[in-house]
Structure 1
Amino acid sequence: MHAILSIRIAGTGHALPRRAVASTELDRRLGFEDGHLQRLSGVENRHVCESEDQIDLAVAAAEEAIARAGVPVCDIDLVLGACGIPYQPLPATAPLVMRRLGMADGAAAAHDVNATCLSFLTALELAAGRIALGQSRAALVFSSEIASRALPWQDQPDVAALFGDGAAAAVVTAAPDGRTGIRASLLRSYPSAYGACEIGAGGTRFDFHREPEAFAAHALFHMDGKELFRITHRHFPRFVEQVLDAAGWSREDVDLVIPHQASPLALDHMVQHTGMESGRVVNIAARLGNQIAASIPTALDIAWRDGRIRPGMKLLLLGTSAGVSFGGMAIEV
């Protein structure tokens, strides 16, 4: 069986800030007893930017992915930024990463794709489509997140404790034999829960000059966990079935599940309600937290480095995002 988008993930990489922050350190800073935030969030540790910025992380992850792919930078003709939160509203983040990588003007197309936590999957599908159509030779897809910003530590410390910073990247090329690549890719949205996970300020919704109080009130991350759980519990198991059906796979065919690291509790819930064996699920949430769009590619790179991915294996990439959306991709490597 040939892939519907015949591509090869030639190399991956990830980068973390130097500073690691344990939940016990946050407990002491906020006046909680040791273990309080870890009990609420399930997250033991996360990395937080101090000396680095979002572009530093993106470039470090991209350089690692390029080196592991063995693809000359001059062969990359597409750079896709897949970040839930951009470096700045305008212009896109991808051209700046392209410049920092030393790529010449006009050498590639560079733009962003934003599907919040599912941005990497969305950008990966776009890159694969262009390569399969012969419109690109090699693509760099990166996700870089400073998730530790704008968190609601006063009102929702259990939510704020979920997040950590990081970046990851992948280099995608054509598959030489046509047998590796994407078997199925599916994205479905449930906008009835649009406001359940958001940062309202920063776009055109609130004018900073005319509505400073409303702007400030919506400048922090907000999450309605109960509403997100309701939507996910009701629809996600069926969505996973649809992805598997589209790929022509059963649960038993899947060698490794690489999910968005929403939270340790969310991963446990996914395992219970989708019938996936926990031993086949990459789980790094407790030690790195929720890295927004960087979660899936970071888990992918760590699984590859740990020897959990080998040629011929079937991978299932799964996630949820604000909006609310579900994403799934079946890949044979």
Structure 2
Amino acid sequence: MNNPARKTKRRRGQSAVVLCALFACLFVLIVLNLAIGDENIGLWDVLKSLAGQGDAGVRFLVMEFRMPRILLAVLAGGALSIAGVVAQFLMKNPLAAPDTLGITGGAGLGAVIVTVLFSQQSPLLLTGAAFSGSVLAAILVYLLAYRNGISPVRLALVGIAVNAFCHSGIQLLISRGSPNVNSALIWLNGSLWGRGWQDVLPLFIWCCLVIPPIWLAAKPLDIIKSGDGIAVGLGIRLERTRFLLLAGAVLLTAAAVTAVGTIGFIGLMAPHIARKLAGAETKILIPVAALVGGIVLLIADAAGRGLVPPLEIPAGLIAAVIGGPYFIYLLRREEHKKRRHA
């Protein structure tokens, strides 16, 4: 007879091993990305630069040019992944992602409006427009989907409709032939090119503010998964919890998309990979998904820089190349499950 306490202890031990392995993998990738570029740097020189020692020129290249881009990839990938975990929970759909909530489309529309319609725009204006667009789109989705509570199916359908509307607006603005259309397209494809510490700090602050409350909601989340009736019986306020989780997913996605542009599939892939590695317990799933998302986006950015130098492929396109087949695999797996249970 299995001992539940022993099983829990074993599962937590396995989760700790997974987390340590992911942290080690992330550290190795960060060091390699700091070393490899247009001008390769020795690993020992990279480590000395991280310690504040070594050649001043190498240290400047590592800390001022490469490190911000790498940290931004890790933070954005982690934020999108956690938003994906929340989206899949809210919609009770393993194929859900932040895009399904309409947030990405809203951010894209806001950024393109500023980029295409204004010949001169400051980075602050672009950031504000993208963030405002994503929040307004999320509010619209919530208002349209709310009917005596939030239905997962209604939330998904309204989110997809709002996202499609935003993308139609984006295409209309791009078709105007504005001289700024190229910069708009680069942003829409999701690129970390030219990013600096000024882009890292706002995203870091948003992650510090939003991720801890989501992680603290892990236990109520696991109870709600058991059924709404059980959750209500244990005193959990369903609508309040769902609203706060939706707000957290919106803020994380808005902050990430504002920083790096629209990058799809990270929020879809990372939660699934995390579940395979560490199980479905939300308290473990959230940090594992964040690490997986950071690693995937870091690999996508490195591949975009290294595949056809000196040209740079936007990280969003590489993520789509990786994520597209994975999405088809998930779709076929869900269809197979339905046939098996029919």
TM norm structure 2: 0.29
Kindly name which structure, 1 or 2, has the bigger radius of gyration based on alpha carbons: 2
Task: Determine which structure has the larger helix proportion and give its number.
Answer: 2
TM-score by length of 1: 0.29
